[in-house]
A = this chain, B = another copy of it.
Amino acid sequence: MDNFTEHTITDAVLARMATVSDPRLRRVMQSLVAHLHAFVREVELTEEEWFAGIRFLTDTGQACDDLRQEFILLSDTLGVSILVDALNHRMPEGATETTLLGPFYREGAPEMKLGDSIAGTTPGEPTVFSGRVTDPAGRPLPGALIDVWQAAPNGLYDNQDPSHGPMNLRGRFRTDAEGRYWFRTVKPASYPVPTDGPVGRMLRALGRHPYRPGHVHFIVSADGHVPLTTHLFVKGDPYLDSDAVFAVKSSLVVDFARRDAAEEAAAHGVSSPFYAVAYDFGLKPA
């Protein structure tokens, strides 16, 4: 082979990969090359389009820094991240579905007592979450850890907005002896993914909005079970059908039920009206 033409090139590149000693690496690279070439052939990519792609990928890499991962945002907005998540977390009945971790998780959120608020003095509509952590059969898991984080009603996480105190709207809770949890916060709002970089340019070129429906993030873990990374979404949010990163699953859309009774609010340590969310997390055995 010393004639790499339109007709021979794909087989030549695949043959070059045949010497890869790690069989998994070989399989992944051969599949990648086959699909990448199939894409180029299917659309008969022009040289100008190829170069626009080179520039876009270069800009995306150069937009990344310690605080920003533009390639993950690209993967998210093309539905690749949620596909990888889905393929790697097929869940048995009774286990909560996973969704994306997102870029805003921080380790070391404060451990709090059940019933505490993660929202500090953040203005917003008071909200009380409660429920249980169980195994898929519904047996309670005492001492399970619930690591929760969310954006403020202005759409910004603590590390995006200097007006927040450290680790605001983040907290860790342990379930009680019956596997129950409850905590207070403020109702989350929809917000846009960052649009000032290459991915923002792509979304505008595609006529797509950058919004995510309001949601609260969770990592729930317990001994002997697979840690669960997920969101709970606000039912009725206008962006549930069109989440910019395709992370919505209908089983994760929850009712933020409005409660007006002053005495019920007082019992939860919030003002009235407030929103009540009831959700039981099911963890898959390890």
Q: Which residues of A contact B (CB under 8 A)?
A: 1-6, 9-10, 12-13, 16-17, 19-22, 25, 27-29, 31-47, 49-50, 54, 57-62, 64, 69, 71-72, 75, 78-88, 90, 205-208, 240-243, 246-251, 253
Cα distance A251–B4 in the bound complex, in angstroms:
11
Cα distance A64–B64 in the bound complex, in angstroms:
13
Copies of this chain held together in the complex: 2
Taking CB as reference atom, which chain B residue is nearest A14? B79
Taking CB as reference atom, which chain B residue is nearest A55? B71
Contact residues in B for A1 (Cβ distance below 8 Å)? 241
Cα distance A5–B246 in the bound complex, in angstroms:
9
Contact residues in B for A206 (Cβ distance below 8 Å)? 16-17, 19-20, 25, 29
Q: Are A58 and B43 in contact (CB under 8 A)?
A: no
Cα distance A222–B54 in the bound complex, in angstroms:
29
Q: Are A54 and B69 in contact (CB under 8 A)?
A: yes
Q: Are B13 and A79 in contact (CB under 8 A)?
A: yes
Q: Are A83 and B40 in contact (CB under 8 A)?
A: yes
Contact residues in B for A40 (Cβ distance below 8 Å)? 80, 83-84, 87
